[in-house]
Amino acid sequence: MKKWDFEECVKHVLISEGVYSDDVHDHGGATKFGITIGVLTNYRQHEVTKADVQKLSLNEAKDIYKKFYWDAMKLDLIASDARALLLFDQGVNRGIGTAIKQAQSIASVYDPGIKWDGQNGPMTSAAINKLDKDLFCREYLKSSLNAYANICVKNPTQLVFLRGWMNRVYKLLDVCWV
């Protein structure tokens, strides 16, 4: 068993995503466990309210994580637990397509045949798995920090989140080399 299997990855994400939030600056709107009102609506297949988000249970959040993040990103194809954790965490925080494209941009430096399509298929997962784990993790985390900074440059209202985003990346850095 991987050290960072799905359940362990969820525990790590919950360090950053555990509470209900409805910050006016958060483009996701009402959020709990990193699950936005839009994602919860999609999962339940009917409109939900902020109160529904606030009442979201951990078990339902785990079901959403598994279906809409872990399985949708095909993270069982990723051989390294640290890499799967990075992709899962950033998928929850910034969207699965964005998280996969970021990995594809790193992998494409070493395998130019990789397309940046935001889908983790056999070519992408093979390229990610082929890279040295430390190299991939270092480049992925560096890229995450740059992405957060770019978000704030493009939209200064997002600066209120920058410290939390940076702390999130630093926590990932800590677990990648244990």
What does the pLDDT look like over 143-154, one tens digit per residue? 999 999 999 999
Contact criterion met (CB below 8 Å) for 76 and 87: no
C-alpha 79 chain-centroid distance: 17
Residue 63's pLDDT band (cuts 50, 70, 90): very high
- The more confident residue out of 42 and 4 is 42
Q: Does position 44 have pLDDT exceeding 60, yes or no? A: yes
Least confident of 3-7, 29-33, 56-60: 3-7
- Give the distance between the most distant pair of CA atoms in the chain: 47
Residue 178 has pLDDT above 70, yes or no: no
Please, which pLDDT band fits residue 18 given cuts at 50, 70 and 90? confident
pLDDT beyond 60 at 39: yes
From residue 143, give the alpha-carbon distance in Å to each of 34, 65, 67, 147, 150. Answer: 21, 23, 26, 6, 10
Alpha carbons 125 and 148: distance in angstroms, whole number: 24
**With pLDDT > 70 as the criterion, what percentage of the chain qualifies?**
97
Q: pTM for the complete prediction?
A: 0.93
Mean pLDDT of the chain: 93
The phi, psi pair for 60, rounded to 5°, reads -70, -40
How far apart (Å, rounded) are the C-alpha atoms in residues 124 and 126?
Answer: 5
Q: Which residues contact 108 (CB under 8 A, 6 or more apart)?
A: 114, 116, 127
How confident is the model at residue 28, as a pLDDT?
87
First to last CA, the chain: 16
Instruction: In whole angstroms, give the CA distance from residue 163 to residue 72.
Output: 29
pLDDT number for residue 1 = 38
The whole-number pLDDT of residue 79 equals 85
What is the rounded distance in angstroms from the CA atom of residue 53 to the CA atom of residue 164?
21
**3-class DSSP state of 74:** coil
What is the DSSP-derived secondary structure letter of residue 69?
I
As a whole number of angstroms, the distance between CA 106 and CA 91 comes to 16
**Cα 23 from Cα 43, distance rounded (Å):** 22
35 forms beta bridges with 32
Mean pLDDT of 106-118: 91
